[in-house]
Amino acid sequence: MSGSGSGSTSSTGASDASDVLWLRPQRARRQPHVALSQDEIARVAVAIADAEGTDALTMRRIAQDLGCGTMSLYRHVRTKDEVFDLIVDTALGEVERPAAPSGDWLADLRQLAVAKRTVLLAHPWLARLLAGRPLVGPRALASTEYALRVVAELGLSMDDRVRVINTLHSFVNGFVQTEWEERTWRRPADEATGGGGAIDRDGDPADDWRARTLPYLRHVLDSGRYPYFSAMVDEATSHPDPEADFAWQLQRVLDGLATVVNG
Give the pLDDT confidence of 230-247 residue by residue, as tens digits: 999 888 877 788 999 999
What does the pLDDT read at residue 183?
76
> Position 68: which residue type?
C
Q: Where are the domains of the chain?
A: 17-92
pLDDT-based confidence at residue 185 (cuts at 50, 70, 90): low
pLDDT-based confidence at residue 12 (cuts at 50, 70, 90): very low
Full-prediction pTM beyond 0.75?
Answer: yes
Q: How far apart are CA 111 and CA 109, in angstroms?
A: 5
Q: Report the percentage of the chain scoring pLDDT > 90.
A: 59
pLDDT-based confidence at residue 6 (cuts at 50, 70, 90): very low
Classify the phi-psi angles of 138: left when phi > 0, otherwise alpha if psi is within -120 to 50, otherwise beta: alpha
pLDDT-based confidence at residue 199 (cuts at 50, 70, 90): very low
Q: Which of 197, 193, 169, 179 is nearest to 241 (CA)?
A: 179
Mean pLDDT (the chain, rounded): 83
What does the pLDDT read at residue 4?
37
* Record: fold of 17-92: Arc Repressor Mutant, subunit A (1.10.10)
Q: What is the mean pLDDT of residues 56-83?
A: 92
pLDDT-based confidence at residue 120 (cuts at 50, 70, 90): very high
Q: How far apart are CA 76 and CA 65, in angstroms?
A: 15
Q: Which of 82, 95, 64, 102 is nearest to 24 (CA)?
A: 82
On the question of pLDDT at 205 being above 50, the answer is no
What does the pLDDT read at residue 211?
75
Q: What is the mean pLDDT of residues 26-32?
A: 53
pLDDT-based confidence at residue 24 (cuts at 50, 70, 90): low
The larger pLDDT score, comparing residue 211 to residue 82, is at 82
